[in-house]
Chains A and B, each alone.
Chain A
Amino acid sequence: MLILHDMQAIHWAVAGLGISAVTLALLVIANRRLGVSTGFEDVCALVLRAPYFHRDALKSEGGWRLPLLGGLVLGGVLSAVLGGGWSPTWDLGMFDERIGWGPGGKVVWMFAGGLLIGFGTRLAGGCTSGHGIFGLSNLELPSLVSTMSFMAAGLVTTNLIYRVIL
């Protein structure tokens, strides 16, 4: 089942308020900056011995991101269960209609995109949440630069795929 294909999305203002509530809660509870991509490093730290994954800035945080990441997965499960039932799916909306690759192609496509996301967010020092929401809210210039960079790159890539190539 593809979520939101037979149900209405919640209003953007409500969703924005919800994300803001999570951001402020993390800050007030324990001085945490909202951010997801550093959680990938916490996962890497479990298996990799490179000094980068055992640096002070990461260790001093005490791995609070792992339960946050686990919660994100749970949130997806909950959304599916309450939205008509959880079942594994390969459905991918307009990708299926316009590109139409099967499971093998999707795995390669998604893995390649994932590599860029993992490497890129860590090089940038944040993702949509850490730079786009927290960093912008705190009026940090590097976050504005990063947000403009990933929005521009996404805009160009999607337009290339769906308006130029296809």
Chain B
Amino acid sequence: MILVYLVLGTFFGFVLSRSGAADYDFIQGMFLLERFQLYGIIGTAVVVTAPALWLLKRYGKTLTGAPLVVTPKPGHRGNVVGGILFGVGWSITGMCPGPILVNVGEGKVYALAALAGALLGAGAFGVAYPRLQRAMRLPPLARGTGDG
């Protein structure tokens, strides 16, 4: 199974690399409303995945024959506050989480600094979870903010 995820990740990474999703100029172009590329990519992915997902949940099974279960993410204040923090970081670096790894692979040295920051930021969040829980209305610790 590990190999399956590795291959899917490699394909995903290659597409992100060659489409502009992992390119600083394409990301700034998206936020400056000068380039349509990233809106086209995300829009196509959602428009194609949404009906397929609906059909799969209704009629589909996994390859092992298990029922298809999708657990929705919980809603909380972190959706807005965390979203804003992430958006600023995305603009600063020109990378969201997937493309950070893609950029590291492409040989962009500064992406290693972004990766170090992201790991440290995620680590700090996990350590601070009990203290953020109340103010952010976060779900119980065993559940977390939502996996994705």
Contacts and interface: CB of A to CB of B under 8 A. Distances in A.
Query: Is chain B a partner of chain A in the same complex?
Result: yes
Interface of A: 1, 3-4, 7, 9-10, 12-20, 22-31, 33-41, 43-44, 48, 50-53, 55-58, 61, 64-65, 67-80, 83, 86-95, 103, 106-143, 145-159, 161-163
Interface residues of B, number: 124
Interface string B100-132: 111111111111011111111111111101101
A7 to B, nearest CB: 8
Contacts of B49: 20, 23-24, 133-134, 137
Given A36-B98, A72-B105, A143 B145 contact: no
Interface in B63-118: 63-64, 66, 68-76, 78-98, 100-111, 113-118
Interface of B: 1-28, 30-33, 36-50, 52-53, 56, 60, 62-64, 66, 68-76, 78-98, 100-111, 113-127, 129-130, 132, 136, 141-148
A29 B66 CA distance: 10
Nearest to A45: B126
B18 A3 contact: yes
A139 B47 CA distance: 11
A29 B143 CA distance: 23
